Structures are given as C-alpha cells and as structure tokens.
Amino acid sequence: MKAAVLKDYGQPVTIEDVELRPPKKGEVLVKIKAAGICHSDLHVVSADLPLPVPMVLGHEGAGIVEDVGEGVTRVKQGDHVVLNWVPECGTCYYCNIGRKDMCDEAQATAQSGTMPDGTTRFHLNEEEIFQFSMTGTFSEFTVVPENGVIPIRKDVPFAQAALVGCGVLTGYGAVVNTAKVKPGSSVVIIGAGGVGLNIIQAAQLAGAAKIIAVDLSPRKFDLAMQFGATDTIDASEDDVIDQVIELTGGRGADYAFEVIGNPNTIAQAYNCLGKGGTAVVVGIAPPHLDVSINAFSIPAQSRTITGSWYGQSNPIVDVPKILDLYMVNKIKLDELISKTYQSLDGINEAFQDIKEGKVARSVVEF
C-alpha cells in the first residue's frame, strides 16, 4: 500500500510501500478517496509544528469505510466519511464541558504521532511510522479512531468533502463558533489562503457588511472577492492598519482573523480592531514565538484576542451541516480546488505551490 512519508524535516515526502496493520478495537479502516494539502502539513515539514518523523502526513481527507474493529458502532463498511483530526476521547474535562476541540487526550496523542493506545498502525520495514494527528490521509488507506470518522451524505464528491475535514471547518468554525460574527459587522481576514477563504465565505453567510481580505499575493484577490470579500488590501504595498481604519469609517474592524501563523500578522490583526473588537488567531505559529500588543488598549478599548483551534467545532454536527450548506449553494467548495493530482506524487509540487501562494487548495484524488 502506498503512502507519502516525511522521513526528515525539510525533505520532500517520498512515496513508500508501507504496511498498514488492521484496525484494533474501536478503530476504523478507511480507503482514502481524496486528500487536501493544507499549510499545516507544510508546518510539519518545516518543523514549525514539531511532530515526530518519519510520519505519514495529510489530515484533510474523505473516503469509504473498508472495515471496522471490534465494538465500532458509529460507522459500517461502505459508509462515506470525512476524517476528523481531533478525535475526542469523550471523557476528559474539556470533552465533558462540550469543548471537544480542546480534548486533552486528542492533543496529547497528536503530539506523539501515534494512535490513542500509543502504538502506530503504519510500519515500514518493521519500523514505526507516525501518523499526522491520528489521520494520515496521504495514503491509500488509513486506520483511525472511531471518533476520527464523520459519516456523511453520499451525494457529495470526495474531493469537496475532504476539504471540509480541515480548511473549511477551521474557517467556518472560527467565524460561527468562535467569533459569532453578527450581521452588519466589519471583518478583516489576514491571509486569504485555503483557510482564509472559508473565513471570508462564512463571514458573508453570517451577514457581515464589510469583509476586507488582506494578502501578500494579489493573485488571491479575485478568489477572495468571489468568496464574498467587499474590499482587498495588498499587504506588500499598503499599510494594512491604516487601510482598515479608513475602510471602516475611522473606527477599526469589529473582527480580525489572522490566518497565517506569524506573530507580526497576529499583532496586526489586533491593531486593526476598533473598540470592543475581537481578534481571532487561527494561524498556527511556531510554539516558541511570542506576540507583542499594547497592554493599555486591552481594557481601555475593551478589545479581545482569542484563538480558534479546528473551528472550535463539534465535527460530528458541523461537518454534515457544512455539506448541507454546500448542497444548497450557500458554501462554495468547488471553487476552493485549484489543482487536482491523480497520485501521491503531486504532493511535493503542491507544497511548492502553497509556499508561492499560488493555490487555494490542491487535492489528491485516489
């Protein structure tokens, strides 16, 4: 069985003939039909998101249930599923208060690159191969925990469904679940990439009046407008904060989303806010970096800075909802797919395209 393996940081992924061990109790074997390539995969390659190697990357995917381990009730063979990269344990404090996105066990297991029992299902020449966040979608098949599969309707194409597993849910959830954007408000999105475009379209769906897309790469602006942006700012030419203040009648924005993972743009998002505004950090910055913001302005202008991990979502509820919205043309998914590859060989090229800001999303279709 073929899988794309990152053997060491900074290296291209290589296509290997790996062994996949069968699903244990409470686990599911999925035949991957489509996998999206997200900037978080690239964060692992660059070691900005420090995870163990060798690893099967890919965390955005959809496929068909091939087999289930003992005791699995959520899905059966033949079901179509989207993979969930925060498969909650269901019993920790955060799961109990309804914050599955913050599940202690899912976070700890993702760090170890294993399954919840501490072992790996992928092997190469008897060596353990780690698995990105209990998913590992750059592979013909994968084994995941039962809570790592979200059953979906069968009339959505796999490539479109795959994107909902990370980029769409992360962006949509940041708007709907974290910020709870109100109708008529002004919203700034810094970084109009695969995730940022979904913040733009969710902000439009939530009724935002002003949706300002900021990017370094002007080729993102046509797409941003298509997804609902009302204005664009070219960060390579213009002063972002001045422009936002001007576009919001001198007040600053009600909401600003950082969707890059860079302390400078996180501070920029905060500095775009008007009084009472909320900055939502979605981009994943390297863990050792800090952000500097003005202390006085936090109380004096009643500003909020918060984070959003995986759209603060409840995937079993939110993924089918987003697919229903797609089927009634209220969420765009087709337009997110800039390039498709018919084999895992395309992944290194897709990484290069992300680095150069060329694509919304690339998808491997199996």
What residues make contact with Zn ion under the rule CB under 5 A?
A: 38, 40, 88-89, 92, 95, 103, 105, 166
Strand 60-68 and strand 27-37: the pairing is antiparallel
Our finding on whether 216 is near ligand APR (CB under 6 A) is yes
Q: Tokens representing 92?
A: 């920790």
Nearest CA to 81 out of 70, 66, 65, 67 is that of 65
354 makes contact with ligand APR (CB under 6 A): yes
Q: Tell the smallest beta-carbon distance from residue 236 to Zn ion (Å).
A: 25
Among the listed ranges 24-32, 34-42, 144-152, 222-230, the one in contact with ligand APR (CB under 6 A) is 34-42
Catalytic-residue membership of 80:
no
Closest CA to 319 of 100, 152, 115: 152
Q: Which listed option, ligand APR, Zn ion, none, makes contact with residue 43 (CB within 5 to 8 Å by class)?
A: ligand APR
Phi, psi dihedrals of residue 21, rounded to the nearest 5°: -80, 155
Does 59 interact with ligand APR (rule: CB under 6 A)? no
Instruction: Examine the residue annotation and report whether 40 is marked as an active-site residue of this protein.
Output: yes
From residue 188, give the alpha-carbon distance in Å to each of 175, 224, 252, 340: 11, 12, 10, 29
Tell me, yes or no, if 38 is annotated catalytic: yes
Residue of 92, 296, 305, 293 whose CA lies nearest to 178: 305
Which residues touch 287 (CB under 8 Å, ≥6 apart)? 50
- Residues 177-206, one symbol each (x = binds ligand APR by CB under 6 A, - = not), give -------------xxxxxxx----------
Query: Where in 119-178 is the site for ligand APR (CB under 6 A)?
Result: 167, 170
Q: Give yes or no for residue 284 binding ligand APR (CB under 6 A).
A: yes
The one-letter code for the residue type at 325 is L
Residue 336 CA to residue 338 CA, distance in Å, equals: 6
Q: Which residues, 252 to 271, sit near ligand APR by CB under 6 A?
A: 259-262, 265
Shortest separation between residue 357's beta carbon and Zn ion, angstroms:
16
Which residues, at least 6 apart from 193, have a Cβ–Cβ distance to it below 8 Å?
A: 39, 215, 220, 259, 260, 354, 357, 360
- Catalytic residue, from 89, 95, 103, 166: name it: 166
CB–CB of 26/70 below 8 Å?
yes
Q: Which is nearer to ligand APR, 119 or 352 (CB)?
A: 352
Secondary structure element (H or E) that encloses residue 242, with its range: helix 240-247
Q: Which stretch binds ligand APR (CB under 6 A): 52-60, 106-114, 152-160, 281-289?
A: 281-289
Q: Find which of ligand APR, Zn ion, none residue 261 binds, CB within 5 to 8 Å per kind.
A: ligand APR
Q: Which is nearer to Zn ion, 105 or 234 (CB)?
A: 105
41 binds ligand APR (CB under 6 A): no
Residues that bind ligand APR in the complex, under the rule CB under 6 A? 38-40, 43, 167, 170, 190-196, 214-217, 220, 235, 259-262, 265, 282-284, 354, 357
User: What positions carry a catalytic annotation?
Assistant: 38, 40, 43, 59, 166
